[in-house]
Amino acid sequence: MKTNRQPGFATRAIHSGQEPDPLTGAVTVPIYPTSTYVQQGIGEHKGYEYSRVSNPTRTRLEQNLAALEDGIAARVFASGMAAINAIASMLQSGDHVVCGNDLYGGTPRLFNQVLAGFGLEFSYVDTSDAENVERAIRKNTRLVYIETPTNPLMRLSDIAAISRICRRRKVELVVDNTFMSPYFQQPIALGADMVVHSTTKFLNGHSDGLGGVVVCTKPAQAEKLAFLQKAAGAILSPFECWLVLRGVKTLAARMEIHDRSGRIVADFLASHKKVKQVFYPGLASHPQHALAKRQMSGFGSMITFETGSLKNANRMLKKVRVCSLGESLGGVETLISHPATMTHAALGEKGRKAIGITDGLVRISVGIEDVEDILADLDGALNEI
Ligand SMILES: Cc1ncc(COP(=O)(O)O)c(C=O)c1O
C-alpha cells in the first residue's frame, strides 16, 4: 500500500538515523571508537577526517534527534550545559539575552558566573507572562531563553505567544525541552528557533550517560554549532552517542508510562495530609492547566511538592527506598531530590526566595516501576513527618 503519511513518533525514534548498518546489516548503529580516518589522498576522504569534527555514530544520533524535534539538524555536546554554552557562544560580547527567572540552577550559574565575565548581558523575567518578555527586550537582545515547564516550580510559558513576540522583535527563541521531551512537547512547531535538551534525562532515559543537544531550524545555526563542536571540542563521545541512540528507541513507550504514573502520583500527593502543595501541570488546580493541555500532549512525570520545612523534607527523604534520593531526572528509576540544596543551591538563599523555592520543596521524577510500589514508598516516607 502506497501512502504519503509521515512515520509516527515511535517509528522515527527507532528508525530515523538508526537505519541498518550498510556494511553488515547490523540493526544497531555501530559505535565508531576512532579518533581519525584514513584518507585516500590529500583532501580525499569518505566524509570523516577527525572525530572532534565528526563521527559516524554522532552523525546518526544528530539525525535521529533532529527528526524527533522536527528540526533541520541537531548538534550533540558532552552535556546539557555544554549544549547551552554552545548556544551562548554563538553570541558576541555586548549581546543581551532575556531568560526565564526559574531555570535549572546550572543555567544562570553559567550565564552569571562565567559568561557575564565575557561581556554577555542577561535579564531574568517571569516568562509565564509573555508581556514580561516583550518588556525586557532591548536593542541588543539576540535571544530569549526559556524552559517550560520550569524546574522545579513547574511554571509554564506560552511558547507560541513568546515566539510571536520574538519574530516581531527579530530575536531568536530557544526552548529547553528537557522536562517534556519531544514526545510531549514540540517547541519548533510552536515557533521556537532552537531547542535544547539535556539528553542525560528522558532522551537517554537510563541514567547512564551525560549529554546535550541543540536542534536547529536554520542552516546558519547548524553551521555555527558544527564550527563550535570543532573549535571548542565539547562533543559527545561515540559511546555516549550510542547510549542515547539505544535509549531513545524506547522514548515513546517510556513516556507513556512516565505520564500515566506521573498523574497517579500527583493525585496521590494532592490528597495526602502531609503534603501542603503540589506543582504538576496535569492537575486541574494548576494555574496554567489550560495552557498545559493546549501546548503539551501529556503532562509527564515531573512533580514538585511542599513538605513544609527542611526538617520535614529531610525526614521523608531519609526514608524512601524505591525512590532514589539523588540529582537528575528522566531515568527509568524514580529519582527524588531536594532543589534548595541540590539543583538550585547555586542560586543562594536570596535567589531561591525571590522565585519561591522553599527549603521544604521536594521534586520527584516518577520512574517506570510499578506505581503501587512508588505510592507505598512515598506514603511510608511522608508519614515519618
Ligand atoms: C532542564 C535542564 N536543562 C539543562 C540541564 C543540564 O544538563 P546536564 O546535567 O546534562 O549538563 C539540566 C540538568 O539537570 C536540566 O534539568
Q: What element of type H or E holds 84?
A: helix 80-89
Choosing from 214, 248, 282, the residue where a domain stops is 248
Contacts of 151 (CB under 8 A, 6+ apart): 102, 103, 104, 178, 179, 302, 339, 343, 363
Count: domains in the chain? 2
Give the residue numbers spanning the domain of 273. 251-382
Q: How far is CA 14 from CA 25, 27, 37, 64, in A?
A: 15, 10, 28, 9
What's phi and psi for 348, nearest 5 deg?
Answer: 75, 160
Choosing from 186, 218, 248, the residue where a domain stops is 248
292 and 206, same domain (yes or no):
no
Please determine, for residue 317, whether its predicted confidence score (pLDDT) is greater than 90.
yes
Average pLDDT, rounded, for the chain = 97
Rounded Cα distance between 233 and 160, Å, is 33
305 and 220, same domain (yes or no):
no
DSSP secondary structure of 9-53: HHHHHHHTT-PPPTTT--SSPPP---SB---SBTTB-SS-SBTTT
Maximum Cα interatomic distance, the chain, rounded to a whole number of Å:
73
Judge whether 71 lies within some domain.
Answer: yes
pLDDT-based confidence at 260, cuts 50/70/90? very high
68 and 209, same domain (yes or no):
yes
Q: Which of 85, 201, 203, 243 to mutate to test the pocket of ligand 1 (most atoms within 8 A of CB)?
A: 201
263 and 340, same domain (yes or no):
yes
Judge whether 2 lies within some domain.
Answer: no
124 and 210, same domain (yes or no):
yes
Q: Which residues pair with 50 in a beta bridge?
A: 36
Rounded Cα distance between 213 and 234, Å, is 11
pLDDT-based confidence at 2, cuts 50/70/90? low
317 and 257, same domain (yes or no):
yes
Please determine, for residue 101, whether its predicted confidence score (pLDDT) is greater than 70.
yes
Judge whether 4 lies within some domain.
Answer: no
Nearest CA to ligand 1 atom 16: 104
Q: Does 293 qualify as catalytic in the annotation?
A: no
Query: pLDDT tens across 18-36, in order?
Result: 999 999 999 999 999 999 9
Nearest CA to ligand 1 atom 15: 104
355 and 221, same domain (yes or no):
no
Strand order in the sheet with 194-198: 73-77, 212-216, 194-198, 172-176, 141-147, 96-100, 121-125
Å from CA of 300 to ligand 1 middle: 16
Q: Is the dihedral of CA 97, 103, 107, 112 positive or negative?
A: positive
Å from CA of 381 to ligand 1 middle: 27
Å from CA of 335 to ligand 1 middle: 14
Judge whether 125 lies within some domain.
Answer: yes
Query: pLDDT tens across 204-251, in order?
Result: 999 999 999 999 999 999 999 999 999 999 999 999 999 999 999 999
Average pLDDT estimate for 123-148? 98
Q: For helices 371-382 and 310-319, what crossing angle results, to 10°?
A: 130
Query: pLDDT tens across 42-80, in order?
Result: 999 999 999 999 999 999 999 999 999 999 999 999 999
Nearest CA to ligand 1 atom 7: 80
Please determine, for residue 1, whether its predicted confidence score (pLDDT) is greater than 70.
no
Share of the chain above pLDDT 70, in %: 99
Query: pLDDT tens across 263-277, in order?
Result: 999 999 999 999 999
202 and 260, same domain (yes or no):
no
Rounded Cα distance between 134 and 323, Å, is 41
Å from CA of 197 to ligand 1 middle: 7
203 and 100, same domain (yes or no):
yes
Q: Does 48 qualify as catalytic in the annotation?
A: no
291 and 324, same domain (yes or no):
yes
The pLDDT of residue 253: 98
Q: Which atom of ligand 1 is nearest to the CA of 147?
A: 1
Q: Residues near ligand 1 with C-beta < 6 Å?
A: 79-81, 104, 106, 147, 151, 176, 178-179, 198, 200, 210, 212
* Residue 134, helix vs strand vs coil: helix
CA end-to-end span of the chain: 61
**What grid cell was written down for 326?**
539523588
The pLDDT of residue 347: 83
Active-site option among 12, 32, 58, 104? 104
Q: Which atom of ligand 1 is nearest to the CA of 327?
A: 14
Share of the chain above pLDDT 90, in %: 95
Judge whether 3 lies within some domain.
Answer: no
Q: Does 32 qualify as catalytic in the annotation?
A: no
CATH number of residue 155's parent domain: 3.40.640.10
The pLDDT of residue 288: 98
Please determine, for residue 319, whether its predicted confidence score (pLDDT) is greater than 60.
yes
pLDDT-based confidence at 187, cuts 50/70/90? very high
Å from CA of 218 to ligand 1 middle: 24
Q: For helices 80-89 and 106-113, what crossing angle results, to 10°?
A: 40
CATH number of residue 355's parent domain: 3.90.1150.10
Q: Does 259 qualify as catalytic in the annotation?
A: no
149 and 220, same domain (yes or no):
yes
Judge whether 357 lies within some domain.
Answer: yes
Å from CA of 198 to ligand 1 middle: 5
Question: What is the pTM (predicted TM-score) of this model?
Answer: 0.97
Q: Which atom of ligand 1 is nearest to the CA of 200?
A: 10
Choosing from 248, 271, 298, the residue where a domain stops is 248
> Among residues 73, 37, 65, 77, which one has the least CA distance to residue 232?
77
Active-site option among 52, 224, 315, 319? 52
Among all chains, which residue has been given the C-alpha cell 528509576?
333
Judge whether 1 lies within some domain.
Answer: no
226 and 262, same domain (yes or no):
no
Judge whether 322 lies within some domain.
Answer: yes
> Among residues 76, 27, 34, 29, which one has the least CA distance to residue 245?
29
**Residue 309 has what DSSP assignment?**
S
Q: Which residues pair with 198 in a beta bridge?
A: 212
DSSP secondary structure of 101-133: SS--THHHHHHHHTGGGGT-EEEEE-TTSHHHH
